[in-house]
Structure 1
């Protein structure tokens, strides 16, 4: 590979959803400059939401660079309507998921299998993988950044796993990385879907350090012009550009640990609502009442099971769960209903089934953890560790 190579791909053609206008705009930009491979997510109008084509191009690129001795490290960023940075990745393309789930398009299954395999690859990449997590970092954006060897946030970072708001669960390895947050912060983030900024992301162990957003472009450009002895030197050079910050704690940490450490969702809700004179408790309870009651049960179980799992086992569990999200109850998918309300009809009035936490059957929630496949035939059977 030459000192500067560039590959662009129009990922719309891979899902058959692109228009001629969209075909002119590649959604993933990749190049090698010097000793570093650079990836820019280039779907700014959709906040770089991941399509199946983008997942495939990321996988293809990372596999190629893993074997390329010229590439010592990888850097990834997003883009916004004004240019580079400003928005990392808002998650998966939920409109595609709704359409594919409604129409029975088999690419729905491909998307999740291939996305989770990509998440696993990033966690086990073997070369420094440096994520510039500027702006929106949610859902699938967390999946392609949490496995990074260096996770950089800025004052503009808005991080969340908001899946319970669309009748889904924090997938892409969310069980694994959220369950490893301090105390019960993982349960709080997973159930509420609340958004956190840079300081809380570092405190929650979901980021390694901060950089001023205004400094990112210079660091990015300089990465391609420096001479490095090895991949570790690349990462150390970037680390030297991070802002020194005093260690801080997550706000309301004691309340988070108290309430979200309770044994089940009804107990959490009862305790929060019993403390209605406390603003934090009242606000948190109100948020949970807006989420899918069924998926709150599922998600709490997910996070707690994942604490004892390695990444591969967690991803296999999540692959089982996502299959059930679309097929466990024919015609009654919480996920399709949640996406409909948020992104299709945009009435923001999901008709959850059941409608109340008090009416959720624990048996229905447990069924999400029954694998549809024997172990040898699981779509992610080959993932290790």
Structure 2
């Protein structure tokens, strides 16, 4: 007599299958990210063998190699690694929490808030480093609060929040343009390079705030990953399942904004990484397990791959933000068309 699996056994088998898929996809993304990190260290005007790169990283002084690897390529790679992870995780968090693929820091104005504060510090105060990072974080949080209060109305609406965010973004972009117009000529190239989103000129001394923020905030969001996925079901469903929605949202928003603001202050607003990473990660890992870590790894892959393409695929070298913008803009247009057809806009 054939024994048919019970419902519990069928559910557990499906869960094991989804877990294996999550582990496989996450592992492959991690391997791809590591491969791109190695490529960032090996490739440049001169291609160095891995053995020499490892010797330079260990502290051995090799003529030409040590300077190129430790001073130029290593900071560039680390900036792309941690900024890409921050953009990916923060974008996925906002999209999942607000249940809308348009609800990411680039589209709803959070990145523009951090950018405006950073440009003000660069071109008006002539500040840098910790001052720019602090101003970017404060401005990012202030932008979130402003968007939330302006979008409340009689009842909270995600669509209204997105529209308000787009309006705030347009206003902040105008502020940035004004700051550039009144700034001195010597500050404009720095601000423009920064606004484009670039890993050029990254220095190890500028990276500790970014690294520390990611190492603190990313685990917080990862630990809240299950609650984040439950929030996607809606306010009432999340509350009925025991999630403290207000506290969870506050923690997720503060951690995400801190990461996105510090990353923006370090590399500039690299376009569309936070917009693309979440949907790609969800498509790859499927449902059932948190996409926080996969989204971060997708962000790393997007940033490092785009930077390599910008450096070596064309006669003219392009900043990483130009390449990610070329990738993200068509997807944004496609998404807007699809949402309009479904009546979600």
TM score, norm. by length of structure 1: 0.27
Which structure has the highest strand share of the two? Answer: 1
Higher RCO by CA contacts (8 Å cutoff, separation 6 or greater): 2
Which structure has the highest helix share of the two? Answer: 2
